[in-house]
Structure 1
Amino acid sequence: MCGRLELRMLENLLLSMPWGDVLGKLNHLTGSCARHDSGDREGGGVLCGQAKLFDTPGILHPYHFTTRLTREEQKLVHMSKELTPRTYRIKPGHSVHIGGLMRLDVEECSVSSIYLTVWASLLLPLHMGKKENAPKMRQDHFGQQLQPPIGETRINDLGKWVRNEFRVVGESWQESSTDIAVAGLGWIAVCLKGEVSLGVWTYSGIDVVSRKSLTSAKARIFEEAGFSMSRIVSQAGRRLNKEKQKSKRKQVEDKGIRLAQFH
């Protein structure tokens, strides 16, 4: 077992290490889903061989998405595997959706484009498009291609859709300066050399905060406009196509019946 001296050494080590190194060591210990750089870290842990570390779920809070989602919806949000960055190069007047739970609008900006890197469960579908089309996206795709919520009837259960405003200043194109984090969902890292105003939409009562970026990692291949590739998007697309085909067949049949009655 670890003695008091070893625990004190661990405490002093964590307090003295740079934040990035702390993340690396803790990820090594806990098998955490997130990693702070693009490569795996080598070397031993900071605890002795007989130590055990238990990572508990914590307490449920009303400002956390977990308290509002069903069990099936929680499975989509839960980060069960190592996180992989999904990066957009995005211009002002465009938006990024994370499922039907969050939307980030790039509003006024001192540069022509910025980098946004999404850190969230890979099961969550993303969408990037023009801000002016965002209301139609909410009407047509929330609960379908953009899940959670699962099903259109669940949208109203989650609460009122509200806007939060943030202003971000960055000094480098290589390192993200600020994370916009949504409790129980994940975060979007913002990278630019300049200033940008962001509108962040989510459900009323869910905590949205800005903080100094935890990591500067970006994806090697950037995401494109439209829906990200995911099982949810594919299934919803097939379902909508079937519904459209069924509707067209019914229209043709109804038209045939009317013509027959006319003659």
Structure 2
Amino acid sequence: HATPRKRLITCGLRFEAGKSLLFGALGRIDFLEGPAVLANWFCSNGVKVHYRKTEGVEDYIYEKAGTQFLYPPTDFDEDFDKRWEWDEDEVLIRGDTWREAVCDVGIAGLGWMSFTVDGEIKIRVVRPQNIRIYKRPPLLPYEAVYGVARYSGTRWHNNYKARYSSVEKRIQHNRLQHGHRDQEGPFPDFEQTRLRKWRGFIQ
């Protein structure tokens, strides 16, 4: 179910120390230290993404794995914590701009996150043993201009996309005009305004 069958889904969030993003029950990214950042997650619609405190996260995963709140896996197994051996790695991320993401960090076959950072942060990536993680230049570096989504505990809501479809089209158009990494020049005024807004939101 982690293999995309439809268009990939994504949402932005304010990611801060002491929080974790769960890709179902089979992978997670913990924010260990550093200033709050803008992050966007990307995955298949067959992966339930959950955002919560890192404290107690392992107990939460064991309790909810295989339910409608946390999948894959799709079936609960009482031996879930014994079936899997886990690997974890710490990753250091440095950036100096709110204009674009500095990197993607992902779990092979499950999903990835892009990070828009002004400073230095440390994260921890936890996944089943022998599953590869990667750090690469961002595939979609300008997702931060879409804003952050509100998470209700079970669903993600991005009112910006719902309410401003005309601005959405303008952003798409200006990405083609200004968004290529090999081009230089200022962002459109409305994108600059949104970036200032999110920078203030982070601080």
What TM-score results when the alignment is normalised by the length of structure 1?
Answer: 0.53
Residues 102-251 of structure 1 correspond to what in structure 2 (within 5 A)? 102-109=27-34, 111=35, 113-144=36-67, 145-153=69-77, 155-156=80-81, 159-216=84-141, 217-218=143-144, 219-224=146-151, 226-228=153-155
Deviation by residue 1:208-227 (Cα, 9 ceiling, x = unmatched): 11111111224445142633
What TM-score results when the alignment is normalised by the length of structure 2?
Answer: 0.68
Whole-Å Cα distance in 2 between the matches of residues 96 and 126 of structure 1?
7
Point out where structure 1 has 5 or more consecutive residues left out of the alignment: 1-75, 230-263
Deviation by residue 1:127-171 (Cα, 9 ceiling, x = unmatched): 111110212212211122211112222735762123111000012
Whole-Å Cα distance in 2 between the matches of residues 179 and 157 of structure 1?
30
Structure 1 residue 101 corresponds to structure 2 residue 26: yes
Higher alpha-carbon Rg: 1
Native 8 Å contact 1:129 1:225 kept in 2: no
Q: Which has the higher helix share?
A: 1
Whole-Å Cα distance in 1 between the matches of residues 83 and 134 of structure 2?
19
State the Cα RMSD in Å. Answer: 1.9
Letter in 1 for 2:93: V
Native 8 Å contact 1:95 1:103 kept in 2: yes
Native 8 Å contact 1:101 1:203 kept in 2: yes
* Identical columns (%): 24
Deviation by residue 1:5-39 (Cα, 9 ceiling, x = unmatched): xxxxxxxxxxxxxxxxxxxxxxxxxxxxxxxxxxx
Deviation by residue 1:62-111 (Cα, 9 ceiling, x = unmatched): xxxxxxxxxxxxxx2121222232111121111110111211111110x2
Whole-Å Cα distance in 1 between the matches of residues 52 and 71 of structure 2?
17
Residues 12-161 of structure 1 correspond to what in structure 2 (within 5 A)? 76-109=1-34, 111=35, 113-144=36-67, 145-153=69-77, 155-156=80-81, 159-161=84-86
Aligned length: 152
